Amino acid sequence: MAGPWVLVGGALAGACIAGALRRWSAISALWAAAVSLALATLSWRTVRLPGFAVEMAQPAYLWGTSLALSSLIQALLGLVFTAVTFSVLGTLGRSPDRDIPTLSLAASGLWAAALMSQDLMVTALILAVIAAPVAVLLRPTKPGHPGAAVRYLLITALAAMALLLVPAFINQAPLNPQDPTPQLIAGALLGLGWALLTGLMPFHTWLLLTGSEARPVPASLVLGTAPLLSMGLGLTWLERYPWLLTVAPRLPDWLVWIGLATAAASGVLAAVTPDLGRLWGYASLIDLSALVMALGVALASGTQGAWMVLGGGMAARVVSHAAIGWALIESRGRFRTRPWAAGLLALGFLSLIGYPPALGFFARQPLYQVQTGPGVAFLFLAGTGVIVGLIRMLIATTPSQRLSSGEADEIRRLPLLTVVGLALLLIPGLVWRMAGPLVAALLRQGVRGA
Amino acid sequence: MLGLKTWPTELLIAIVLLGAVGMPLWGGWRGRLMALLLQYLGVGFLLDTLLSPEVGLAHILAGGLAGVVLYLGARRCQTDQIVTRLLMPGTAFDLAFRAVAVTIVALVVWTGHRLAPWPWLPAPMGLVVYSLAGASLLTLGLAPPTIEAGIALLALWNAFELAYARLASGPAWLGLISLIGLPWALAISYLAYPPAGRLEEGD
């Protein structure tokens, strides 16, 4: 059973070491070798195909709310966090772009409508319309091909096509357990649409280009919210079409495996990527991988746990992306002379990949407390790849020229900004930990009372 | 009502196929925009044949508006002068490369049409769907400037509309699907315009 994994580990090691020796530093090669060796060792010792023993160990994390209320909370969280993130970045980052608030709020409203919609065709059409303001938000800072925006338009168009075709197959015939072909095709189309919208590999290239091309504020907005809201859409479909889990009973296992594969690949690529924007994209993919794994784990005991996982992920993800975008604006690429910005950037990345003491670590508690075998270890390894890449980036930044008086003022302001950034990262996590059980108990009492 | 059903289907299919072949073959945004408008015209008439004149007319009107938006956007930014391209458009080598690529994609399209026909469409229209999808994906694969990528994206959506015509719940849905091209055309026109210098400083 472990043989194929050793082969995979060896192949990964060979490919990454070759890539690292050709263009990048020795530390990347060491990281690639380490992750491959760890993959092989872990699979040798603990991985038992075909899947993981998935069960929620802490039902206290679930809110005792109805599914409709959970959907509403999810949509409102998206709106609130998008608005708060914009306000913080727009005020402190002094964004001169007047189009960002209008477009981001329009996109948020449309996303909420898509989440609330009970008709798949309406959802698909709304998603197709959302693509336009999001693409405008992703406009690059320099002339040339707006690769991220055009790819996002294409990806959304393909997803809308897949989703529009689904009702034709669902309505073709009622579910027949002996021959569920129409439902299987519909499920495959739903899964394809979901993977396209969420940005899972191999449909992730727009995520990477977003970090490299787009302005930091809209990049952090889109990276922080769009993939996660797509995940919420996937959950609403699972609730609306319960036969999905009947025709694909191994779906939770598949999600765990997809998350693991994406995390491992992203970690290795993050360690050897030569671009800070792409590193941001890979860190985002690792966060997505953790959420996909968590969804798989939570789905084993129903969609309510999965909604809870997404709620926690939403807070951590949006705030982490906001911190990274903010640090990029403040540093303007000169991290050596602006250590506070570098520190905030590192903290944002730590939160995104789920390392303590940042918010992302707290948001992943439900995932860490379940029996996922080596899955969590894989995530930590993948996160280490991002850290290796980040250290290389920060070391490689060139020293700045003599600072102007305005820039010196900005540097004096940075400690204050960093304290606010730390609070943004840490306080929601602490509040979440302390108030979560209280809110859950209150909601349960309210539901029972009703 | 519009008398479009009197048009021979073969002529309509020939118009769309001309647009499909022309899209990757003609270099520059003007040629590709003309090819897109031909496609919209042909697909609109075919939708009239398949469903109703209203649907066909809505499709042609939406395509015309999207074409105007893309034309104005392209005129404003003159992408051909901004973006340098690997194959140097206009040269004999560029044309030969495109001709070979179109031939290969045509073979793939024909094979796909023979092996996997669309069960809910007449066979010639299935060929049109495959051709439009192949031509648009080939154009996107040639890594064109933004406006031309947008034109290819709208061509792909055109192919989907024709394939989806018999599956839609009603003509109103198809009308809405046709209108999706408008915000996309607006976004593409905006993206094609080079950003102002102030944005290069960050945010």
Task: Please check whether residue A146 touches B, CB under 8 A.
Answer: yes
Q: How confident is the model at residue A57 (pLDDT cuts 50, 70, 90)?
A: very low
The reply to whether residue A217 touches residue B203, judged by beta carbons under 8 angstroms, is: yes
CB pair distance less than 8 Å for A161 and B145: no
Confidence of residue A157 (pLDDT cuts 50, 70, 90): very high
Contact call for residues B39 and B16 (beta carbons, < 8 A): yes
Q: Is A236 within 8 Å of A71 (Cβ atoms)?
A: yes
The winner for highest mean pLDDT among A36-45, A311-320, A398-407 is A311-320
Q: Which residues of B touch A139 (CB under 8 A)?
A: 190-191, 195
| Predicted pLDDT at A106 | 64
- Least confident window among A122-126, A391-395, B63-67: A391-395
* B167: alpha, beta or left? (left if phi > 0; alpha if psi -120 to 50): alpha
Question: Predicted ipTM?
Answer: 0.84
Nearest to A288 by CA among A198, A387, A193, A385: A198
CA distance A270 to A286: 10
Whether residues B83 and A144 touch (CB distance < 8 A) is answered with: yes
Asked if B145's CB is within 8 angstroms of A150's CB, the reply is no
On the question of pLDDT at A67 being above 50, the answer is: no
pLDDT confidence of residue B154: 92
The pair of three-digit structure tokens given for residue A367, joined into one six-digit string: 């995932």
- Taking chain B (203 residues) in consecutive chunks of 10 residues, what is each chunk's mean pLDDT? 60 81 79 87 84 82 87 72 50 74 84 80 83 86 80 90 82 82 86 59 39
Chain B residues whose CB is inside 8 A of the A153 CB are: 150, 153, 184, 187-188
Residue A97 has pLDDT above 70, yes or no: no
Q: Least CB-CB distance to A154: which of B140, B177, B190?
A: B140
Is the pLDDT at A214 greater than 70, yes or no? yes
Instruction: State the pLDDT at residue A445.
Output: 61
pLDDT beyond 70 at A427: no
- Cβ atoms of residues A322 and A85 within 8 Å: yes
Please state which of the ranges A128-137, A138-147, A298-307, A348-357 shows the lowest mean pLDDT.
Answer: A298-307
Predicted local distance difference test score (pLDDT) of residue A324? 83
φ/ψ of A217, rounded to 5, equals -65, -55
Distance of CA B102 to the CA centre of its chain: 15
The answer to whether the peptide bond before residue A182 is cis (omega within 30 degrees of 0) is no
Contact B143 A145 (CB under 8 A): yes
How far apart are the CA of B146 and the nearest CA of chain A, in angstroms? Answer: 6
Is residue A135's pLDDT more than 80?
yes
pLDDT score recorded for residue B100: 81
- Residues 122-141, chain A, touching B (beta carbon < 8 A): 125, 128-129, 131-133, 135-136, 139-141
